[in-house]
């Protein structure tokens, strides 16, 4: 017969006798490790962060004080707590990090758009107003397209003569712009949108620009921004009078 010590199964009772030859078994430590692995599901949705909380609580119970030889299950409990804390922290901060990154991307795209208009690249700016599905093929001549068909030429002229675009061109390429309000991100119809208010920091123009950007994911899994609306920013809203 083997003389190797056999783990005792009564280690969860809380009354572990001192015995230097037999290591007690704490099943809760292995449950903690399982919950620590399941806490990775919190990356999918915040409600699933309950696995992280449960893993930490079960792990704390498994790591309670003991006498004599260390129970089996203590090391899995420590690993499970580390996993639960790690995945829980990532799950908690990931939405904030995603919002931060999308905000910075939207602001960078908006500044590029303003510079394109200021440089007189009207055709290219009009393409940035389209989503990635409706944009022209890169090999085609944008100038020929917008100056060819009558409807395309009319759209080009209306876009070029827009008051907002004239103000942007007046400031010139490379002009400094600041974001007057924090970038607002929101989701509508499962699509991400960003609202920005851009101002002239030099004070040469009191008008502010309100810009709405849409974020779509293409077939390659890459995010594509496009401008859905640009207009002069208004602090007051027009309200229709009551019908008497």
Among residues 138, 137, 134, 160, which one has the least CA distance to residue 147? 160
More confident residue, 11 or 165: 165
Kindly state the average pLDDT of the residues 99-124.
91
For residue 244, pLDDT over 60 is answered with no
Collapsing DSSP to helix, strand or coil, 94 comes out as helix
Collapsing DSSP to helix, strand or coil, 6 comes out as coil
Inter-residue long-range contacts of 120-126, CB under 8 Å, 24+ positions, other chains counted: 120/169, 122/146, 122/156, 122/159, 122/160, 122/165, 123/156, 125/159, 125/165, 126/155, 126/156, 126/159
Among residues 59, 68, 56, which one has the least CA distance to residue 26? 59
Task: Please give the mean pLDDT across all residues of the chain.
Answer: 83
pLDDT, tens only, 199-223: 988 876 777 899 999 998 887 888 8
DSSP letter (8 states) at residue 16? P
The domains of the chain are located at 11-95, 99-232
Q: Which residues of 156-193 are buried (b: 16+ CB within 10 A; e: fewer)?
A: beebbeeebbebbbebeeebebebeeebebeeeeeebb
pLDDT at residue 238 in the model: 47
For residue 196, pLDDT over 90 is answered with yes
pLDDT at residue 36 in the model: 93
Percentage of the chain surpassing pLDDT 70?
86
Kindly state the average pLDDT of the residues 112-131.
89
Kindly state the average pLDDT of the residues 69-78.
89
pLDDT, tens only, 79-102: 999 999 999 999 888 888 888 999
Contact status, residue 213 vs residue 196, Cβ threshold 8 Å: yes
Lowest mean pLDDT among 1-10, 89-98, 188-197: 1-10
pLDDT band at 1, cuts 50/70/90? Answer: very low
Alpha-carbon span 228 to 224, nearest angstrom = 12
pLDDT, tens only, 163-186: 888 888 888 888 889 999 999 999
For residue 239, pLDDT over 60 is answered with no
pLDDT at residue 233 in the model: 82
């Amino acid at each position: 017969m083997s003389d190797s010590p056999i783990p005792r199964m009564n280690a969860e009772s809380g009354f572990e006798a001192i015995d230097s030859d037999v290591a007690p078994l704490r099943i809760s430590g292995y449950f903690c490790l399982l919950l620590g692995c399941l806490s990775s599901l919190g990356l999918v949705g915040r409600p699933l962060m309950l696995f992280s909380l449960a893993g930490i609580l079960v792990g704390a119970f498994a790591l309670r004080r003991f006498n004599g030889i260390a129970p089996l299950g203590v090391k899995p409990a420590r690993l499970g707590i580390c996993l639960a804390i790690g995945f829980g922290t990532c799950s908690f901060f990931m939405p904030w990090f995603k919002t931060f990154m999308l905000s910075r991307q939207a602001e960078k795209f908006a500044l590029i758009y303003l510079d394109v208009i200021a440089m007189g690249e009207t055709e290219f700016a009009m393409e940035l107003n389209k989503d990635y599905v409706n944009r022209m093929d890169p090999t085609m001549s944008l100038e020929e397209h917008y100056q060819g068909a009558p409807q395309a030429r009319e759209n080009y002229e209306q876009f070029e003569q827009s008051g907002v675009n004239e103000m942007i061109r007046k400031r010139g390429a490379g002009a400094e712009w600041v974001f007057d309000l924090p970038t607002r991100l929101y989701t509508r119809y499962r699509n991400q949108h960003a609202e920005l208010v851009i101002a002239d920091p030099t004070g040469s123009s009191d008008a502010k620009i309100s810009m709405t950007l849409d974020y779509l994911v293409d077939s390659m899994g890459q995010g594509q921004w496009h401008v859905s609306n640009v207009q002069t920013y208004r602090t007051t809203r027009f309200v229709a009078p009551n019908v008497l």
